Amino acid sequence: MELSELNGKRILIVGLAKTGVSLAKLLNRYNAVVTISRSWTG
């Protein structure tokens, strides 16, 4: 998958450690629709 293909895609990020925040910023640059969950209950 090319990063340009993320435009408009819905992405869920579980966790907001350094990696989660960095990933959210990257996805935002490519116009992905980002949802963040701070914790996982499973």
pLDDT of residue 42 exceeding 90, the answer is: no
How far apart are alpha carbons 2 and 38 in whole angstroms?
27
What are the sequence ranges of the domains in the chain? 3-37
> Helices marked H in the chain — which ranges?
18-29
pTM above 0.85, yes or no: no
pLDDT of residue 7 exceeding 90, the answer is: yes
DSSP-derived secondary structure for 26-37: HHHHTT-EEEEE
Task: Please report the pLDDT score of residue 18 as a whole number.
Answer: 84
The pLDDT tens digits for 13-41 are 998 888 999 999 999 999 999 999 987 66
Query: Of 24, 4, 3, whose CA–CA distance to 14 is shortest?
Result: 24
